[in-house]
Amino acid sequence: MNLSNLTINQDATVLDALAILNELLYKESISRLILFVTDDDDKILGSLTDGDIRRALVKNHNLNQPLSEICNKNFLHATDSEEFLDLKKYREKDIKMLPILTKERKIKKIIDLEKTKSMLPMECLIMAGGRGKRLSPLTDSTPKPMLMLGNKPILEHNIDRLIRYGIKKIYISVKYLGEQIESYFGDGSSKGITIEYIWEEQALGTAGALSLVEHFNTDHVLVMNSDLFTNINFESIYLDLIKNNADMAVASTEYKIDVPYAIFETEGKQVKSFKEKPSFAYHSNAGVYILKKELIQKVPENQFYDITDLMSEIVDEGKSLIFHPIVGFWIDIGSPLDYSRAKDFITHLKE
């Protein structure tokens, strides 16, 4: 969002503000018409909505009144010094547009709370180098993450969701037909983010590409598979990890096994009891992980290494590995049947 479109100088008049608000109505896709009034040093003085203007006119202010006299100086804001910005408390106060201020009270950015679910202090690595053989012939000329799902590729659904959670730096590991992925997304600037590509010269498993990222700039890193279709809440996983002081959190989905027959509990040859057609539920790996940055040192450089290898090391060393159940939908698009399910599901889905 262009800050200059939402800021206005204190010496501008009510009439000037009305003209800009009217222009915003037609040109900007924002959740609330609002301007932020600044002084000559670009320091914020207050906020201004059409409601503020109406109240000022009722009090006999005129259209040539400077905005410094009528803006709302008691406005809610956040600061860029906060490590994790809890947007929920601002939504509960019905705030739609939240300015983030520097210590000098200058606007660093403005968050549209209806479009942004969170501001997670993390960078992300998306694993997108796989061949997708089970989806052949669809993947013979198109990498699996770029198969269309609705009006955009599978990978774009995941990137757009990461953006809604405030993640602005994304690494994508690529190998098979990776040129198509890089050509489509470019450097990420069209989406207001930064994308870097990690090229795998050989297959590196589900975690090996972590060793090729020169430097992560955040204390925690989100790692995910590229072929997922899900409405997973990344913030809830992160908060669960922090609350439990865990080294790594793994998103999990419930996997049920229905036994179509009665099963026996036995002692020797004797049947002690039995259960008729029981069901068993297990927490299974959903392909989304958040881990402390220092764990990446365990990943061997440029070698095949799966994320489950890292999980085993964490457990063996007595570190904390937790699971976080997904609430919502989750489809791992690994087969034609899974792809068909996802395409059918999206036809009636509102993201």
Give the chain as a 3 state SS string.
Answer: CCHHHCEEECCCEHHHHHHHHHHHHHHCCCCCCEEEEECCCCEEEEEEEHHHHHHHHHCCCCCCCEHHHCCECCCCCEECCCCCECCHHHHCCCCCEEEEECCCCEEEEEEECCCCCCECCEEEEEECCCCCHHHCCCCCCCCHHHCEECCEEHHHHHHHHHHHCCCCEEEEEECCCHHHHHHHHCCCHHHCCEEEEEECCCCCCCCHHHHHCCCCCCCEEEEEECCEEECCCHHHHHHHHHHCCCCEEEEEEEEEEECCCCEEEEECCEEEEEECCCEEEEEEEEEEEEEEHHHHHHCCCCCCCCHHHHHHHHHHCCCCEEEEECCCCEEECCCHHHHHHHHHHHCCCCC
Is 315 contained in some domain?
A: yes
Q: Do 222 and 331 sit in the same domain of this protein? A: yes
Q: What is the pLDDT of residue 305?
A: 96
Domain boundary among 112, 136, 161: 112
CATH number at residue 202: 3.90.550.10
Q: How many domains does the chain have?
A: 2
Q: Do 304 and 185 sit in the same domain of this protein? A: yes
Print the domain residue range for 171. Answer: 122-346
What are the tens digits of pLDDT across the range 279-288?
988 999 999 9
Mean of the per-residue pLDDT values of the chain? 93
Q: What is the pLDDT of residue 251?
A: 98
Q: Do 108 and 126 sit in the same domain of this protein? A: no
Q: What is the pLDDT of residue 347?
A: 86
Percent of the chain with pLDDT over 90: 81
Q: Do 151 and 296 sit in the same domain of this protein? A: yes
Whose structure tokens read 């739609």? Answer: 96
Whose structure tokens read 């803006």? Answer: 71
Q: What is the pLDDT of residue 110?
A: 92
What are the tens digits of pLDDT across the range 50-70?
999 999 999 988 899 899 999
Stretch 29-40: mean pLDDT: 86
Percent of the chain with pLDDT over 70: 97
What is the rounded CA–CA span in Å between residue 250 and residue 284?
Answer: 9
Q: Is the pLDDT of residue 292 over 90?
A: yes
Q: What is the pLDDT of residue 128?
A: 96
Task: Give residue 28's pLDDT band: very low, low, confident or very high (50, 70, 90).
Answer: low
Q: What is the pLDDT of residue 216?
A: 96
Q: Do 216 and 328 sit in the same domain of this protein? A: yes
Domain boundary among 94, 112, 130: 112
Q: Is the pLDDT of residue 160 over 60?
A: yes
What are the tens digits of pLDDT across the range 315-347?
999 999 999 999 999 999 999 999 999 999 998
What are the tens digits of pLDDT across the range 168-185?
999 999 999 999 999 999
Domain boundary among 112, 146, 174: 112
What is the rounded CA–CA span in Å between residue 125 and residue 319?
Answer: 22
Q: Is the pLDDT of residue 2 over 80?
A: no
Q: Do 73 and 163 sit in the same domain of this protein? A: no
CATH number at residue 44: 3.10.580.10
Q: Do 104 and 131 sit in the same domain of this protein? A: no
